[in-house]
Amino acid sequence: MSEVPRQTGCAEFQAQLPELIGSGAIAADHPHVKECALCRELLESLETIAQAARQLFPEVEPPDELWAQIESAIEKDEFGGEQIEAAIKKDSGGER
């Protein structure tokens, strides 16, 4: 006997929506959206809001020197960390 696919209700679909959108899936392809005008309108509204938000905060490319600055900060931190470890060993009689 073959199993009949279970229909997704509005509440279940809407509960899954954040995960669906976050996963990069195309929510408009979900079978429930194709059948339900209410959820289709909700999805269209969310897409309109998301598009407007992207326009408010356009994607900004970081400056080319940013990675060099990050790398330099990490190197300084590592060096500082070694100095701190040496000071701790000295204060504790060489044991750690």
Same domain assignment for residues 52 and 79: no
Residue 2 counted as domain residue = no
Same domain assignment for residues 40 and 76: no
Mean pLDDT of all residues in 3-15: 74
Domain count for the chain, please give it. Answer: 2
Domain that holds residue 96: 61-96
Find, among 58, 31, 60, 56, the residue nearest to 43 by Cα. 31
Same domain assignment for residues 17 and 38: yes
Same domain assignment for residues 37 and 66: no
The residue among 8 and 9 whose pLDDT is bigger is: 9
Same domain assignment for residues 15 and 50: yes
Structure tokens that stand for 51 in this block: 């598009």
Burial 48-87 (b: 16+ CB within 10 A, else e): eeeeeeeeeeeeeeeeeeeeeeeeeeeeeeeeeeeeeeee
pLDDT digits (tens, 9 = 90+) for 40-91: 999 999 989 988 888 888 788 888 888 888 888 887 776 555 555 665 566 5
